[in-house]
Amino acid sequence: MEYRIKDSAKGYAEPIKNRPGSFRLYFSLGKDPSTGKYLRSPKRTYHCKSKNPKNWKSECDKALEAYKDELLGTSRSSDLPLTVSGYAEEFHRLHKDEMKSPLSYNRENYDIRHIRELFGDMPLKALRPDDIRRAYANARDTGRFSESELHRIHVKLRQIMECAVDDEIIDRNPCRKVKAPKMDLKPRETLKISQLPDFYNRLLAEPMSPATVCTMLLFHLGLRKGEALGMSWNDYSPSDDKIRIRWQYTNDKQLRPPKSDMSNRDLAVNPSLKEYLERWRILQASELNRLGLKQTGETPIVHSIGLEKVTAGRLPYVTRMDGHNFGRWFRNYCVDNGYGQFETVTHTFARDGKTIRRGKDYVGLTPHGLRHTVATVFAAEGTDVKTIQAWLGHASATTTLNMYVRAVEENNRAAAGLFDSLVRKS
């Protein structure tokens, strides 16, 4: 039997535990005359836009009104079938406000599309563990997705189905009984310990610039590129040799908080990096002064100069370096110094008696490879995983361990070689 919501129906907004500002919205649909049980509409997750708890009630009231308008005149059945893909898309839509970066939200959209491709319009309540295993097996047989892609899809599907359990749409999460596909972890290009002095000295020999400063921050501290680009002089405290990570400058040119709470951290600045930053502070102030600009605590450490259109022409202003521009500079630097190459060379030219190559299809060291380098160096020197996790700002120790394993493997090979050399001497 079908029931229709009434104008007088009472709406509810239940707070979600451990998620301040998030609520489950639903309406009472009255009593089922055949069973005597009270019916209610499907629960809908709502995330308040305001950070002030005083505003949450009014937001929820408006959200309930909008939900009621949607339900009025719409036939509802207590066993209305919801599809896996439909619920996944609704999850994605409601998840937007929780994402700190629109880039992360867009990446999640690919996962939702892949879930739709694998499970289509299968009813949410009908999804079983064997259905999931079969979908993954078919994807492997056809070569549609790699193991790493299937792992990412599975992580997202499990998260979505867990939300369906919280919404009381399903009783159990079918993903719990499915072994997650293994990630196909390809080792990222990093610097070997023996290469560190050469890379450092070559970088020192480069004319000091925003790009070299950004690279020096990545090299010494193992930062994410966006974290280095997001720093201002206020974040650097030479008096106590610390630098604060509070922001990241993303590729969409927006300054946002870091990826997780763990990413908010203070890092010690070693003497070499401190000396470099002090020299850069003086040089940057001089360059800005020539343009009629003043260096302040809000000035980005890794800066760029923009031009603002005015009536009489253009006025310069200080902004942050674009991540794409830095990536281009870094690739060229690595090619010029033997840490990478272009598989397709489009043009060459001479500079300082050397042949310089430029092109596309770059392979070699990347800015994130320096982050992995710092992690493996720490691990090789015996630093424990939790300390490395805190230094790098990883929300999960699993991410740190994936970096740690490579260093352990290198240490194992070194230990085996040492043992062999000792045996041969005897």
pLDDT at 76 over 60: no
DSSP 27-55: EEEEE-TTT-PEEEPPPEEEE-S-S-GGG
Residue 80 has pLDDT above 50, yes or no: no
- What's the CATH architecture for 208-359? Orthogonal Bundle (1.10)
What is the mean pLDDT of the segment spanning 106-132? 89
pLDDT, residue 147, reads: 87
Can you tell me the distance from the alpha carbon of 286 to that of 284, in angstroms, rounded to the nearest whole number? 5
Contacts of 335 (CB under 8 A, 6+ apart): 341, 342, 357, 358, 362, 364
pLDDT > 90 fraction of the chain, expressed in percent and rounded:
47
The values of phi and psi at residue 136, to 5°, are: -65, -40
pLDDT at 114: 94
pLDDT at 341 over 60: yes
pLDDT, residue 123, reads 86
Q: What is the pLDDT of residue 28?
A: 83
The whole-number average pLDDT for the span 8-33 is: 83
- DSSP symbols for 60-120: HHHHHHHHHHHHTT--B-TT---BHHHHHHHHHHHTGGG-S-HHHHHHHHHHHHHHHHHHT
* Per-residue model confidence (pLDDT) at position 18: 81
What's the confidence (pLDDT) of residue 412?
56
- Per-residue pLDDT reduced to its tens digit, 369-413: 999 899 888 888 888 888 989 999 988 777 777 666 655 555 555
Higher local confidence (pLDDT), 179 or 409: 179
Asked which of 49-53, 78-82, 149-153 is least confident by mean pLDDT, the reply is: 78-82
Domain with residues 11-177, CATH architecture = Orthogonal Bundle (1.10)
pLDDT (mean) for 332-349: 95
Higher pLDDT pick, 307 / 410 = 307
- pLDDT of amino acid 171: 87
Q: Could you tell me which residue, 186 or 209, shows the higher pLDDT?
A: 209
Question: Within 262-383, where are the H helices?
Answer: 271-290, 323-336, 367-380
Each domain of the chain, given as residue ranges in start order, spans 11-177, 208-359
Residue at token pair 């990826």: 259
- What's the confidence (pLDDT) of residue 321? 96
More reliable by pLDDT, 4 or 384: 384
Give the pLDDT confidence score for residue 2 in this predicted structure: 37
Q: 356 forms bridges with which residues in the sheet?
A: 349
